[in-house]
Amino acid sequence: MKVAYIINTYPSPSHTFIRREIAALERRGMTVHRIAMRADRDRLADPRDRAEDARTEHVLERGALALLRAGLGAALGNPAGFGRALALAWGCGSRAEGGARLRHMVYLLEAAFVARRCAELGVAHAHAHFGTNSATVAMLAHALGGPGYSFTVHGPEEFDHPRALSMGEKIARARFALAVSQFGRSQLCRWAAPADWPRLHVLHCGIEFPATSEMPSLPQGPLRLVSIGRFAEQKGQLLALEALARARTHAPGLHLTLVGDGPLRHAIETRIAAPDLAGAVTLTGWLDQDGVARELARAHALLLPSFAEGLPVVIMEALGAGRPVISTYIAGIPELVTPDCGWLVPAGDAEALAETIARAAATPPETLAQMGRAGQARSRARHDIDRQAELLERLFVATER
């Protein structure tokens, strides 16, 4: 079976879970064509992502003329279908904000290009990751006569603006829609007609596990935490630094490594320079997959005090590496992080987070190791990429019948 993956920006440092999913489907014998709207080459640190970039067709790199030709070809080849797709794009743009009608006309041209490429490649089904503009392009391509489509909603962006994203319309027209957690599916149920609920499924993001369950030994000395993610408001790094400063009054040897980069870097650097955090924080920038694994091995636990999430892949990776997790009671996180493998605190509560960090610092190493083993078993059971790819393949194949 030939499938096209439709993604806005791909590959990207934060989208390794898509690369793993595609690779697992290909191991199962499926043919996957990668079609992204744009590239993110300047930020690719992992050689595997750079190799994936070479396998990906980037629509906007074809230039405006190619898109206009695709749109004109769609209009001349199927005037009625193009008219319906145009009306659909205009209606979706009307529900969004900030010049969205014009933006949706661009999506329509992208969709015309995608529909043509899917026909040329013999694609039977298109799958979009994220319910944002990538799902819009897949939906419009289908309206233009392209293949049926499905899409995966991750959150939190889709949870913030479901009506502006025409989420109900996308679900109604899709063959099926996926969420990465039960919480995410519940949100899809809010925006979908009850008759569409049977086509809403939970498919977990997956990670690759070694053949054995052996995990790195815990480091010696005071508690070392690692936080991995884009430096953005929703990830809560500034709150983590505030909590760390408070916790150091009880556990002065605490250390935090921040892996990532983003718009809050300057604010984070400014906070780290304060006397109460002197020498307590290390910034690494973006790391490749192996670098992330090394930092998890050097830490006792993952710290992720997010304000908004779907279900972070980094939590799956940390638990898979045998490291407990400190995170927040939001979205799908409580479905994975349970008391036997981590601690959860109310989002935005610096004092509760500081108390939990101090509690982790006082936890005996043997207890941390036991929590790590429990977390690894839980992550393996729920997030093995080959098992998730098998479930996804079944959904794809069922759409052909």
Interval 192-248: pLDDT, tens: 999 999 999 999 999 999 877 778 899 999 999 999 999 999 999 999 999 999 999
| 19 and 48, same domain (yes or no) | yes
Q: Are residues 331 and 389 in the same domain?
A: no
**Do 355 and 366 share a structural domain?**
yes
Q: Are residues 108 and 257 in the same domain?
A: no
Residue 121 resides in a domain: yes
Q: Are residue 71 and residue 168 in the same domain, yes or no? A: yes
Calpha distance 258→307 (Å, rounded):
17
* Residue 213: inside a domain: no
257-269 pLDDT, tens digit per residue, is 999 999 999 999 9
| One domain for residues 265 and 301 | yes
Same-domain check for residues 391 and 374: no
How many domains does the chain contain in total? 2
304 and 332 Cβ atoms separated by less than 8 Å: no
**Domain assignment present for 246:** yes
Q: Which domain holds residue 262?
A: 224-383
DSSP string, 47-98: HHHHHHHHHEEEGGGG-HHHHHHHHHHHHHH-HHHHHHHHHHHHHHHHHS-S
Instruction: Mark whether 60 and 176 lie in a shared domain.
Output: yes
Round to whole Å and give the CA distance between 315 and 125: 30
Tokens 């063959």 appear where?
175
39/148 same-domain check: yes
CATH value at residue 143: 3.40.50.2000
Residues 103 and 249 in one domain: no
How many other CB atoms are there within 10 angstroms of residue 329's CB atom? 12
Residues 18, 5 contacting (CB under 8 angstroms): yes
The reply to whether 260 and 187 lie within a common domain is no
Q: Are residues 166 and 193 in the same domain?
A: yes
Whole-angstrom CA distances from 382 to 15, 202, 272 are: 19, 11, 36
Q: Which residues contact 244 (CB under 8 A, 6 or more apart)?
A: 225, 254, 256, 277, 280, 281, 354, 357
219 within some domain: no
Q: What is the pLDDT of residues 75-104, one digit of tens each?
A: 999 999 999 999 999 999 998 876 699 999
